[in-house]
């Protein structure tokens, strides 16, 4: 559960020799956005907030047959 009630997602990245990073990776972030979109939790041109960094936000801007594009600011 997110500590930020407005956050759309919360993530952790485990890499290398079991190191942990709270920064999102592109693959995991993309997969999570597709999942949230398919479940109806987010929509096109809706604000997406990152739980850990209030300065990381963006919009899901385009959906194609085999892709989704995001724009993070």
3-state DSSP of the chain = CCCCCCCCECCCEEECCCEEECCCCHHHHHHHHHHHHHCCCCCCCCEEEECCCCCCEEEEEEECCCCEEEEEC
20 domain residue, yes or no: yes
pLDDT at 50: 54
pLDDT tens per residue across all 73 residues of the chain: 456 666 656 667 777 888 887 666 666 777 777 787 888 887 776 666 555 555 555 555 455 545 555 554 4
22 domain residue, yes or no: yes
The Cα 28–Cα 15 span in angstroms is 12
How many domains are contained in the chain?
1
Which structural domain, as residue segments, surrounds residue 43? 13-72
42 domain residue, yes or no: yes
63 domain residue, yes or no: yes
7 domain residue, yes or no: no
27 domain residue, yes or no: yes
């Amino acid at each position: 559960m997110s500590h930020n009630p407005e956050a759309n997602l919360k993530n952790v990245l485990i890499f290398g020799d079991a190191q942990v990073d709270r920064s999102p990776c592109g693959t995991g972030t993309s997969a999570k956005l597709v999942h949230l979109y398919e479940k109806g939790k987010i929509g096109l041109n809706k604000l997406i907030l990152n739980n850990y960094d209030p300065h990381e936000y963006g919009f899901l801007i385009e959906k194609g047959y085999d892709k989704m594009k995001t724009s993070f600011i």
